[in-house]
Structure 1
Amino acid sequence: MAETTPTQVPEVDYTLNNPDTLTKYKTAAAISHKVLEAVTALCLEGEKIVEICEKGDQLLDEEIAKVYKGKKILKGISHPTTVSPSSHVTPYTPLKTDAVEAETVLKAGELVKIQLGAQIDGFGTIVCDMAVVPKKDAAKEVITGREADLIVATHYANELLLRLMVPQGLLAQGTDEEKAKATAKKAPTQSQISDLLEKVAKAYDCKVIENTTSWMFDRNEIEGTKKIILTPGNGVRGEGVPEVGEVWGVEVGLSLGSGKVKNLDHRATLHRRTTTTYILKRPSSRQTLSEVVKKFGTFPFSLRQLEDEKAAKVGVVECVRGGVLRQYEPAGETDGSAVSRLLTTIAITKNGITKLAAPNAVDLEQVKSDKKIEDEEILKILEQPLARSTGNKKNKSKKKKTTAGEE
């Protein structure tokens, strides 16, 4: 009798070498973009932040439910909707059960940061953009002054950082010798990256926010093995160099003040499951962790997303103390100045960088700064492409060219 061997299930390739992986990232990104646009429209003078965040998560859930129907694929929110007031450095999402913070409303003229994201099969995209809160029932105004300086500076700092992440020689042109020479160049160190971004910030009289961190993304992981830390504090340093085949969450934050950060006197409402194992003693703690694992996996969540917000506030305490959940401490500018933040999810392919989920490009007709970048090294880098042309010339001639040296 012939022996039979059990059928082996082929191992799934979850890297970007598998076209399905990139498709799932792009599907998640499309959802993130659509909801970001809707949430930005909700950011009006007098609106409560908690209600905007709840609406954002509702929209995320609705859009996620429309894709990959009937397939055995886990999908959900990769980052809850957060709306951070002017001086807040970190994502902010208050709770309805915290009476004072639940009444926090947006003020006309303040620069808010909107962050959210979706994930399909563990492939998460997160995006953060900025908006100046318009006056109620007023026509859209041109943004000038220091807010304009901050917005334009952050835009160019972000574009610069993305170009510094393109692997050396990947987009080189010319002879084989010239390409080999470009490839042989060393990637910029994280110290050099920080110095270049500080030059952009200085041109607009701003500061890079200390310890702003970009992470490599993996499946079910938004804080991978590599990270880039801008203007790191003592004892803090980044690790690794971006390479082809990787997905990153690229973050840039600038300040009109010191660029230094302090913890705020607010409840930590954002959490994330860790890989730590700990035997929880309280039934409320075990119930909270069980719900977190089922609903969010290892992606960040807000306590307001749990079934019983009041019970979650109690149950999360032992989970954090035991290390099975990590809480994100609310932080802001030490001197209360306005700060910015942009976060772009990118894929690094053989053709260069693809922006998966990205903030909107700055409309330089709507945001006008009287400052500009004059450093030739910076201008030269900003002129470089993020990716090689793939032959799609649609609307190419209609694009309006803007450079960092123009107002």
Structure 2
Amino acid sequence: MAEEVENKEIDYSLNNPDTLTKYKTAAAISQRVLEAVTGWCVEGETIVSVCQRGDKLLDEEIAKVYKGKKIAKGISHPTTVSPSSYVTPYTPLASDAEEAAVTLKAGDAIKIQLGAQIDGFGTIVCDTIIIPSKSNQGDKHPEQEANLLLACHYANEVLLRLIVPPGLLASGTEEEKKKAAAQKPVSQSQITNILQKVVESFGCNLVESTTCWQFERNEIEGQKKIVLAPGEGVKGEGSPDVGEVWGIEMGVSLGSGKVKTLNNRATLHRRTTTTYGLKRPSSRSTLSEIVKKFGTFPFSLRQLDDERAAKVGVVECVRTGVVRQYEVVGDKDGADVARVFSTVALTKNGITRLTGPPTPNLEAFKTDKKITDEEVLKILEQPIARNTGNKSKNKKKKPAKKAGEEEGKTEA
């Protein structure tokens, strides 16, 4: 009982330096594994094998930190590899022969997503890569692929700048700072409109209902969320504030951006806060393993001890609302989709990128399209954090085509 009282008094906010340290430790693992998994994604490789190897490496890397301490740690998001037109994370099962045989194809826009958590502080990262052909790995990206990746990159950069709380990075007199801080945050509809301008510059559209969530301890879908290009009946609520951690998602399509549910088996799940007296022994056994291994973080059925038994046991869990299943969603037109995901912390110095897609090599993109909208270009020139002296201050101004190339991760 004394231990329970003590735990309640622990400050798990970013005011506690230990919280940010744990986030950064989990983030470093996520980034390392993302880099490794990216290297494994080659033409002819099966998606299920990449996912399995990714989770194995996550477990190995997580085991190296906080050794001997009574701190829960594990995977905050299993390794998923989503083919070109898929919007949501995809992780097939070895026991489903047809899907287990799906291989990576040259030219596919592959979305790789994964994450680690330390003491319930989860980080997630996602990047989109184009699978190179074995015969021409050194070539530049064709124009359509280039436009898709550039649209996603720049839209993500603009979004990060739009969520910085008003006045946080303001300079000048105290009166000027107060005036800047008194401004209202950019509304979610305004954010969508600005981002649509960005992606339209490259002939693309935002993916319907792309969602950014506030992260909390043991929770990757907090109370506040930002919904971009919301579908019917979908609505965001709230905006980021100092002291919060957010998962920032950006989805861009070469098609209309509208989505549909695909016929694939739902294999990605997450435990909810709903309680229910499950009737089947197999269901109770499955739920017990879920609680023990994953807590409230997402998991794949292939991560359970017996994959086939899990497919049976999870049915009642989902039907009663004890477990949520994530449907496999794809682009309604079957068009290529790019998606990136970053975990960021908002501090008094601005945004700290905990995880995020690597900065793309802009020289590898072959396209005549570029951003010309003055409002967007002005936003891209804004910083996302104060320069604390850790980074070089002398940077040449970039031409319009490269406007918005990120300055690198800025420490809090």
Q: Scaled by the length of structure 1, what TM-score is found?
A: 0.96
Query: Within 5 A, what are the aligned runs for 1:24-173?
Result: 24-136=22-134, 138-173=136-171
Task: Provide the residue aligned with 1:226 in structure 2.
Answer: 224
Quick check: 1:161–1:197 contact (8 Å CA) kept in 2?
yes
Task: Provide the residue aligned with 1:290 in structure 2.
Answer: 288
Cα distance, 1:178 vs structure 2: 1.2
Cα distance, 1:264 vs structure 2: 0.5
Query: Within 5 A, what are the aligned runs for 1:184-199?
Result: 184-199=182-197
Task: Provide the residue aligned with 2:406 in structure 1.
Answer: none
Quick check: 2:143–2:365 contact (8 Å CA) kept in 1?
no
Quick check: 1:152–1:369 contact (8 Å CA) kept in 2?
no
Question: What do residues 260-282 of structure 1 show as CA deviations (whole Å, max 9, x unaligned)?
Answer: 00000100000000000111000
2:6 to 1, 5, 9: 9
Give the whole-Å Cα distance in 1 for the aligned partners of 2:402 and 2:19: 39
Secondary structure of the residue aligned to 2:172 is coil
**AA aligned opposite 1:341:** R
CA distance change for structure 1 residues 404 and 283 in 2, over 3 Å: closer, same or farther?
farther
Query: Are 2:209 and 1:211 equivalent residues in the alignment?
Result: yes
Task: Provide the residue aligned with 2:242 in structure 1.
Answer: 244
Task: Provide the residue aligned with 1:3 in structure 2.
Answer: none
Quick check: 1:156–1:404 contact (8 Å CA) kept in 2?
no
CA distance change for structure 1 residues 314 and 375 in 2, over 3 Å: closer, same or farther?
same
Quick check: 2:93–2:301 contact (8 Å CA) kept in 1?
yes
CA distance change for structure 1 residues 330 and 317 in 2, over 3 Å: closer, same or farther?
same
Quick check: 2:128–2:339 contact (8 Å CA) kept in 1?
yes
Percent sequence identity is: 68
Cα distance, 1:197 vs structure 2: 0.5
Question: What do residues 55-98 of structure 1 show as CA deviations (whole Å, max 9, x unaligned)?
Answer: 00000000000000000000000000000000000000000100
Give the whole-Å Cα distance in 2 for the aligned partners of 1:402 and 1:158: 18
Cα distance, 1:404 vs structure 2: 4.5
Give the whole-Å Cα distance in 1 for the aligned partners of 2:315 and 2:214: 29
**AA aligned opposite 1:391:** G
**AA aligned opposite 2:155:** A
**AA aligned opposite 1:256:** L
CA distance change for structure 1 residues 286 and 380 in 2, over 3 Å: closer, same or farther?
same
Cα distance, 1:369 vs structure 2: 2.5
Secondary structure of the residue aligned to 2:362 is coil
Task: Provide the residue aligned with 1:310 in structure 2.
Answer: 308
Task: Provide the residue aligned with 1:355 in structure 2.
Answer: 353
Quick check: 1:274–1:325 contact (8 Å CA) kept in 2?
yes
Give the whole-Å Cα distance in 2 for the aligned partners of 1:264 and 1:105: 18
Cα distance, 1:403 vs structure 2: 5.0
Quick check: 2:158–2:195 contact (8 Å CA) kept in 1?
yes
Give the whole-Å Cα distance in 1 for the aligned partners of 2:400 and 2:231: 29
Over aligned residues, Cα RMSD in angstroms? 1.4
5+ residue gaps, structure 1, are 1-5
Cα distance, 1:402 vs structure 2: 4.0
Task: Provide the residue aligned with 1:180 in structure 2.
Answer: 178
1:340 to 338, 341, 345: 338
**AA aligned opposite 1:120:** I
Give the whole-Å Cα distance in 1 for the aligned partners of 2:91 and 2:396: 37
Give the whole-Å Cα distance in 1 for the aligned partners of 2:396 and 2:89: 33
Question: What do residues 5-34 of structure 1 show as CA deviations (whole Å, max 9, x unaligned)?
Answer: x89637110000000000000000000000
Quick check: 1:379–1:405 contact (8 Å CA) kept in 2?
no
Q: Scaled by the length of structure 2, what TM-score is found?
A: 0.95
Give the whole-Å Cα distance in 2 for the aligned partners of 1:152 and 1:9: 49
CA distance change for structure 1 residues 190 and 284 in 2, over 3 Å: closer, same or farther?
same
Cα distance, 1:372 vs structure 2: 0.6
CA distance change for structure 1 residues 401 and 316 in 2, over 3 Å: closer, same or farther?
farther
Cα distance, 1:233 vs structure 2: 1.4
Give the whole-Å Cα distance in 1 for the aligned partners of 2:274 and 2:400: 46
Task: Provide the residue aligned with 1:369 in structure 2.
Answer: 367
**AA aligned opposite 1:154:** C
Give the whole-Å Cα distance in 2 for the aligned partners of 1:400 and 1:316: 55
Give the whole-Å Cα distance in 2 for the aligned partners of 1:236 and 1:365: 38
Give the whole-Å Cα distance in 1 for the aligned partners of 2:328 and 2:399: 35
Task: Provide the residue aligned with 1:330 in structure 2.
Answer: 328
Cα distance, 1:391 vs structure 2: 1.3
Quick check: 1:168–1:187 contact (8 Å CA) kept in 2?
yes
Secondary structure of the residue aligned to 1:100 is helix
Quick check: 2:274–2:322 contact (8 Å CA) kept in 1?
yes
**AA aligned opposite 1:48:** T
Task: Provide the residue aligned with 1:405 in structure 2.
Answer: 401
Secondary structure of the residue aligned to 2:401 is coil
Question: What do residues 201-256 of structure 1 show as CA deviations (whole Å, max 9, x unaligned)?
Answer: 11111000110000000000000010000011121110001100000000000100
Task: Provide the residue aligned with 1:320 in structure 2.
Answer: 318
Quick check: 2:362–2:402 contact (8 Å CA) kept in 1?
no
Secondary structure of the residue aligned to 1:341 is strand
Quick check: 1:128–1:359 contact (8 Å CA) kept in 2?
yes
Secondary structure of the residue aligned to 2:318 is helix
5+ residue gaps, structure 2, are 404-412
Task: Provide the residue aligned with 1:266 in structure 2.
Answer: 264
Quick check: 2:340–2:357 contact (8 Å CA) kept in 1?
yes
